[in-house]
Amino acid sequence: MEQTTQSHSNKEVKAILASFVILAILLKIVFYKETTIIVLKTVATISWLFVLPGYFISKIWQQDLNFTERLIICIPISAAIIGISSYYLGLLGLNLRIQSFILPPAIIFITLAKTKLFKLLK
């Protein structure tokens, strides 16, 4: 059982990396006058802010949704959670510069911790 989960996770990591590479190639074609480093930074930022947090959250639906569906719906979910948290954390005094680096991993960590906690409770 654990091995299956492990192999599923490996597949997911590979799929996410593949989508990162494909999006980078696509954007490099469309923005062909832009330097590769800027394109890579843009794609990395999209993944960091708008893909990864929502993708981990949508793990709860991994039985119902395929990879592409999760990849698409994770974007508004990430944007909503990151945007709302950023607004309120800013009001509480946490500078956006710091938020930009800690918010996505914090959301992923909370999601994973919650899932693990649920499993333990069960």
Partner 1 sequence: MKKETIIETIFLLAFIGTMFWIGIADSWGHKIQHDFPYSYLASDTFQHQTRAQWIKDTGNYKYEAPYYSAGYTNIVGFYPPILLHLSVLFSHISGLEVYDTILFITVFFAITGSLIFYNIISCWNKQIAILSMPLMTYIFTIREARVAFYWGHWPALLGDFFLVACLWMLINLQKKHSGIILGILLAATTLAHTAATIFTVLFILIFFAIAVLRKKLEKKQLKNIIIAFTVLLILTAYFLILFKQTWMVVFPFTFQIWTDWTGGGGFITLQSFGTYTLLIMALGMFFIIFSKNQNNFFQKLIALFSLGAGFTNYIGFSNRAFNFRFYWPILLSVLFGTGIYKIAKKVINNLTTFKSAAISLAVIAILINYNYTPTGKIDGLMNQYTWQTLNWIKDNTENDAKIFFFYGDSYDQDGSLGNTHRRNTRVEIIDLSQTLQNKKIEKEYPTKELIESGTELPYREGMFTYARVIAENKNVTGRKIRDVCSFDYYVFDKSGRYPVLVQFNQIIANTFAQHNFTIVFDNPLSIVLKNQQHGGQCFGANNTITL
Q: Which residues bind partner 1 (CB under 8 A)?
A: 22, 26-27, 29-34, 38-39, 41-42, 44-46, 48-50, 57, 60-61, 64, 66, 68-69, 72-73, 75-77, 79-84, 86-88, 90-91, 93-97, 99-101, 103
What are the DSSP calls for 31-59, one per residue? TTTS-HHHHHHHHHHIIIIIIHHHHHHGG
**Shortest Å distance, C-beta 2 to partner 1:** 22
Residue 60 is encoded by which pair of tokens?
A: 């709860």
**Shortest Å distance, C-beta 7 to partner 1:** 16
**Shortest Å distance, C-beta 66 to partner 1:** 8
**Shortest Å distance, C-beta 49 to partner 1:** 6
Closest CB to partner 1 among residues 60, 109 = 60
- DSSP code, position 37: H
Which of helix, strand or coil describes residue 76? helix
**71 within 8 A of 19, measured Cβ to Cβ:** yes
Element (H, E) at 27: helix 2-30
